[in-house]
Chains A and B, each alone.
Chain A
Amino acid sequence: MALTHDELVQFLDTELGVDTADISRETELFSSGIIDSFALVTLITFIEKQCSFRVSPVEVNLDNMDSIDRILTYVDRKQNGSN
């Protein structure tokens, strides 16, 4: 299954309490403190459930998880088998 921009934004809003009206696709989520470590764990679990793949420990990094765009790029790369 794929993860769309709208699904991700809705998850950030309803499950993680992020004020999505204030953020853009490039806004840093974790390094700016918008989401904390617990929220990051919830987010990883959501990605795994939604996309039916396992996020490996080395893939949990800011390059892959720190903004809406980075998450969608990571998911896309992972699902297309290039990672």
Chain B
Amino acid sequence: MIQTGTFWIVVAGSLLLFWLTPRAIRYGLLAVVSWLYVFWFTVHLYVDSGVGNAFVIPMLTVWVALFYWLAPKVVANPKKVKWITPVLILCVLFVLICFKYVAPVLQVLAGDSLALRIALPMGISYYTFKLIHYAVEVGRGNIKQRSLQQFACYMFLFPVFTAGPIERYDHFQNNLESHWSAQMTAEGVMRIMSGLIKQFVIAKMILRPQLQSYTTADAVLARLDELPTYAMWGYCILTYLIAYMDFSAYSDIAIGVSRLFGIRIMENFNWPILASNIGEFWKRWHMTLAGWCQAYVYLPMIGLTRNPYVAVYSTFLVMGLWHAGSTVWVMWGLYHATLVTMYLQWLKFRRKRKWRSTDRFWVRVPAIGLTFVVVSIGAALTSNYPDGNGYDALRMLAKLATINLPEW
């Protein structure tokens, strides 16, 4: 979306309109502009290239109306209509599962033509998680000030619609500036510049050329047997860095554009390459997804099972499947779950011996290096998505250990 000139024309046009509009109807206006733009964009994309699903915005409009109307009824009458929150969550999850996980299965069973008819709606993973968050927090009584304008703006806000961050509604409400300020605008412009530099200079002009002829996982797999092991390591590290630059660039631009509208949305990355352990990595990488999963999967699973291992594996399975209904993303989830489990074991071992954590330079630097390497290995697992399969990902992993697995 951000690569199109139309996006920036809509930003410029709606900004002027937004700040000239009285505050009472400002967020309603931004919701309408976002609705119209994202609707136009999704229809245009579908008609021109057959990508996505043209009905995503009308479908989301129905969800927004239902969640806005039904979710608060639990607070008013918790004993009689307690079922509303789980039913809303199950319904929206059912639709996500149909689009995201049934379509890939049908693609295998019935061919491309059927799968195309139920093509994945753009932004569905993001808006589904936002709706679930809204239903749960309204049900818990944590969202008391409700406004249809602000909720619609929160759900449709066009800079964050396709690639997040997965904003929390309470955070959104508490971070709306009532007046235009030069400081917010300057911050917004700086973040947009930072995103553009990450994406077009660092990722595209500096990192991607280092891949040389191995620009895709297919190219790596085609010559995997003769590829030196150090080159495979280089590929993994570059893949991780490019993914980090690209994704954090999208977040920077989303955060920056939102800030131009006086909306300070949540941060999504905090220098994950400087994490000194895998636990810290997940506090720095895709922070809004990790936070959502901690609140709505990990902690309830701890409460349900009293077993941190089950909670960790469940959480990372959800995180893997959230990215895509694909073997490689499930493998990626299980890989990270195993890393976090090992780290939890270490914490348990350390706590039993009453060892305090240390932040000394000679401990922190190798720890950062080790974390960087293990996360890079995970990048190899998903680099062949969506064309590759789990076995191809395993062949790439084996190559890192100088093992050549045969082709399937």
Interface residues of A (CB under 8 A from B): 16-17, 19, 33, 36-41, 44-45, 55-63, 65
Contacts and interface: CB of A to CB of B under 8 A. Distances in A.
A46 B109 CA distance: 51
List the 9 shortest-distance A-B pairs measured between CB atoms, nearest first.
A60-B303, A57-B303, A37-B308, A57-B304, A57-B300, A36-B347, A60-B299, A41-B306, A17-B351
Given A17-B354, A37-B302, A40-B302, A63 B348 contact: no
Contacts of B344: 36-38
Contacts of A16: 351
B362 to A, nearest CB: 21
B228 interface: no
Nearest to A66: B299
A60 B300 contact: yes
A37 B305 CA distance: 12
26 contacts: A17-B351, A17-B354, A19-B356, A36-B308, A37-B308, A37-B311, A37-B312, A37-B344, A38-B347, A38-B348, A38-B351, A39-B351, A41-B307, A44-B302, A44-B303, A44-B306, A57-B303, A57-B304, A58-B303, A59-B303, A60-B300, A60-B302, A61-B295, A61-B299, A61-B300, A62-B295
Interface string B305-337: 011100110000000000000000000000000
B77 interface: no
B348 A36 contact: yes
Given A36-B344, A57-B303, A41 B279 contact: no
B174 interface: no
Contacts of B354: 17
B142 interface: yes
Contacts of B140: 63
Given A38-B344, A41-B306, A57-B304, 15 more contacts: A17-B351, A33-B279, A36-B308, A36-B344, A36-B347, A37-B344, A38-B308, A38-B348, A39-B351, A41-B307, A44-B302, A44-B306, A57-B303, A60-B300, A61-B299
A38 B310 CA distance: 12
B300 A41 contact: no
Nearest to A59: B303
B308 A41 contact: yes
Contacts of A39: 351
